[in-house]
Structure 1
């Protein structure tokens, strides 16, 4: 039977991103969050999206395959256009996930699938970009 690693993977991804100096130079570590964020969080920020998890089993391996979405929220500021900032944050996320190596999980697959961007609500200067990954892992 497969093993659900949804929670462990969520925290491993958040800790990985929050510990990355290149990323935290743009988004402070305290603004890299799980699914729930404070209602008055400062922008820019990153949120781990609702994962889609399915079982994974192979010879001697029991884990899960996860569709993970990492969201970047940005607004127009002195740093530039909100849409460009959001896309730059997602590009950093994609780059930094290339070296994702959690201590408590053994990665089988870690693939970037796509990045998309939309305006956040009716605000012309607020943007929401999101990158999707397939991450398959088993407990270490």
Structure 2
């Protein structure tokens, strides 16, 4: 199955972050979108709140100009992050009074978030869910990956 360059890159980054314990839903640089955008937090200026689905003025300007960040529009980035956070057990937007998981960096919680995120990324590209990649996110008790990530050309 053919996948887009943006999807391949996003999957590689999320895979690496997951297995290197560099995935943290509460950190704008280490969340799903933060990792997709090379551990930058500039995307947080597209909305008023982490986990919000509404673009602010800056986000609307970028969206209207057709700006893409590693292949994703500002609105797509907000949607990706919302899917990830909801699947990790957060009530959106992130706020200290809203519901959140007790241990947000628990591998099982992160795996749930990544599974939904990958499904959504595939939906954005109009392809079937590639969760044959599920095995790539499986880990041993020592938190090392069970399988090596390999992309065939």
Q: Which has the larger share of strand? A: 1
| TM-score normalised by the chain length of structure 2 | 0.28
TM-score (norm. length: structure 1)? 0.30
RCO higher in 1 or 2 (8 Å CA, sep ≥ 6)?
1
